[in-house]
């Protein structure tokens, strides 16, 4: 198949997907929340958040650093989110001797790109969440020199995670944006999935880090990618 034929097929597929999205009725926030609550990752993060919050309140010892920790974490999250999306979720499988390095989270993300409407694939895999929680406990209770500040870190982390998970889910749901900020998030992520997977990596911010790192082009200047639903063209390579 020639490059022109591939491009034509990709354009038709994207146009069809976007027509279907426009024709769907907008779901209510209540319906979206009910569906969100049926999946394990919000519950895992919610239990983690509640447990860390109770522990933080019982330990006490509040100080100005308890304001600094969330400020730093929230301010740095857009960059962290971008780095994870680019280098972890869009990881290309690599062979090291007899082994193929292809993490579960990257495999699931490729599946998510193949079918952005498959609801379970929208969420962070629960296996990955358990590993993240284990790593977070090491950071919060070992790396931090203060137990109090470490527990503050452990409260803020799942709170940020829930915001990310809810935002990402809502963008892929049938809920339609009604406010300018969410409309920008929704539009940018649609561009990432339906126009070109090499741009618009931010999910919870409206292109701030994408602008800084050069992945926020004018959509009209970007070719529709034939691999937006087949990251790295691995299925055609016999994945």
Can you give the pLDDT of all 239 residues of the chain as single tens digits? 454 554 455 556 555 555 555 545 567 999 999 999 999 999 999 999 999 999 999 999 999 999 999 999 999 999 999 999 999 999 999 999 889 999 999 999 999 999 999 999 999 999 999 999 999 999 999 999 999 999 999 999 999 999 999 999 999 999 988 899 999 999 999 999 999 999 999 999 988 899 999 999 999 999 999 999 999 988 765 54
- Report the distance separating Cα 233 and Cα 140, nearest Å: 39
- Report the distance separating Cα 82 and Cα 164, nearest Å: 12
pLDDT value of residue 207: 80
pLDDT value of residue 14: 52
- Report the distance separating Cα 79 and Cα 81, nearest Å: 5
Q: For residue 202, give Cα distances in angstroms to 104, 125, 160, 174, 183.
A: 21, 19, 14, 20, 14
Dihedral sign, Cα of residue 107, residue 113, residue 118, residue 122: positive
Find the largest Cα–Cα distance for the chain: 66
Q: Which residue has the tokens 């997907």?
A: 17
pLDDT value of residue 239: 46
Query: Does residue 6 contact residue 223 with C-beta atoms inside 8 Å?
Result: no
pLDDT value of residue 177: 86
The alpha carbons of the chain give a radius of gyration, in whole angstroms, of 20
pLDDT value of residue 27: 75
- Report the distance separating Cα 205 and Cα 201, nearest Å: 10
For the stretch 185-213, what's the b/e string if a residue is b when 16 or more beta carbons lie within 10 angstroms of its beta carbon? bbbbbbbbbbbbbebbbbbbbbbebbeee
């Amino acid at each position: 198949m020639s490059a022109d034929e591939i491009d034509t097929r990709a354009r038709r597929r994207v146009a069809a997907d976007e027509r279907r999205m426009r024709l769907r009725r907008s779901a209510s926030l209540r319906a979206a929340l009910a569906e969100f609550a049926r999946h394990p990752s919000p519950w895992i993060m919610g239990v983690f958040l509640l447990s860390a919050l109770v522990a933080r309140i019982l330990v006490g010892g509040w100080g100005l650093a308890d304001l600094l920790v969330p400020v730093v974490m929230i301010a740095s999250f857009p960059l962290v989110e971008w780095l994870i999306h680019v280098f972890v979720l869009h990881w290309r499988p690599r062979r090291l001797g007899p082994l193929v390095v292809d993490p579960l989270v990257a495999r699931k993300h490729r599946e998510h790109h193949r079918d952005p409407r498959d609801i379970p694939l929208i969420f962070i895999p629960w296996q990955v969440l358990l590993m993240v929680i284990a790593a977070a406990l090491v950071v919060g209770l070992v790396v931090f020199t203060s137990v109090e500040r470490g527990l503050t870190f452990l409260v803020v982390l799942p709170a940020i995670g829930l915001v990310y998970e809810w935002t990402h889910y809502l963008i892929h749901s049938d809920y339609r944006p009604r406010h300018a900020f969410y409309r920008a998030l929704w539009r940018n992520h649609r561009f990432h999935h339906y126009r070109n997977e090499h741009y618009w990596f931010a999910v919870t911010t409206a292109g701030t880090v994408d602008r800084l790192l050069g992945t926020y082009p004018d959509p009209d200047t970007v070719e529709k990618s034939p691999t937006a639903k087949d990251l790295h063209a691995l299925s055609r390579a016999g994945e």
